[in-house]
Amino acid sequence: MIRAKCKRRAVALFSLVVWVTLSATSPTLAQTVVGRSVVDGQKVELLSDKTWRLTDPDSAVAACDSLPLGVSFCAGTDWKPTTPPSNEIAAQYRFDDRNYAQMILEAVGTQDGMSTEFMRKAMINNAASVAGLREQDVAILDVRDVTLGDLPGEMVVYQLGLEGVDVVFLNTIVVLPQRTFQLMTFAVGKQKTPEMERLHVDFLSRVKIE
């Protein structure tokens, strides 16, 4: 059941990536102010999507999105939230016309038999399936151990063509006892560039996990 579940979610993700990549001009998620409050002396607005933002534009403190499973993301003015086209995606962001990010947050972990190796293999297998390739035809550009705060993880960088568009994916996987996170940035291109890696590191630096 766990393997089937992961496969369905990976397929949904890569179908989704095609939509996002080919819709670079998609509008940002509409947000409506539903209330106002004061937090640590700062005036904030409460938004309809259950996030909040500071009303003082000169404040150095960025508004943060509260996401499922104890995750928050402080986008600042750089990463713009966009509407996730599937319930499988907990959050989706746009940096510019070429660079995007998504989060998949699941309430399963090592206690359920999950591992970074399993997630990596499922991810590559389904990427190949969606692109109509053999698994060995997915170009793995890099695999390395990383940390997210003090949490160990693995970053997998790979490239493939989706509907005629070349896309490079940088996906950091973090597997905890009862939670698994995929924190992905992706960009139009054939090779990983220093800018892609810089943006991935920047994206991760804004993620906070309880």
Pairing type for strands 139-148 and 151-162 reads antiparallel
Q: Which domain holds residue 150?
A: 2-29+62-209
Contact 47, 34 (CB under 8 A): yes
pLDDT above 90 coverage of the chain, percent = 56
Question: Does residue 203 sit within a domain?
Answer: yes
Picking from 42, 2, 15, the residue whose alpha carbon sits closest to that of residue 126 is: 15
Question: Does residue 204 sit within a domain?
Answer: yes
**What is the value of pTM for the model shown?**
0.72
Question: Does residue 133 sit within a domain?
Answer: yes
Does the pLDDT at position 193 exceed 60?
Answer: yes
Question: What pLDDT is recorded for position 47?
Answer: 73
- What is the domain count for the chain? 1
Q: Which of 17-31, 37-51, 190-204 reaches the highest mean pLDDT?
A: 190-204
pLDDT above 70 coverage of the chain, percent = 74
Question: Does residue 48 sit within a domain?
Answer: no
For residues 51 and 49, what is the distance between their CA atoms, to the nearest angstrom?
6
Does the pLDDT at position 111 exceed 90?
Answer: yes
Residue 198 belongs to a domain with what CATH number?
3.40.1000.10
pLDDT in tens, 15-32: 445 444 444 334 444 456
Question: Does residue 169 sit within a domain?
Answer: yes
pLDDT in tens, 132-180: 899 988 999 999 999 998 999 999 999 998 888 999 999 999 999 999 9
- On average, the pLDDT of the chain sits at 82
Question: Does residue 34 sit within a domain?
Answer: no
Strands of the 42-47 sheet, one edge to the other: 33-39, 42-47, 52-54
Question: Does residue 16 sit within a domain?
Answer: yes
DSSP string, 79-90: SEEB--SSTT-S
Question: Does residue 77 sit within a domain?
Answer: yes
For residues 110 and 122, what is the distance between their CA atoms, to the nearest angstrom?
15
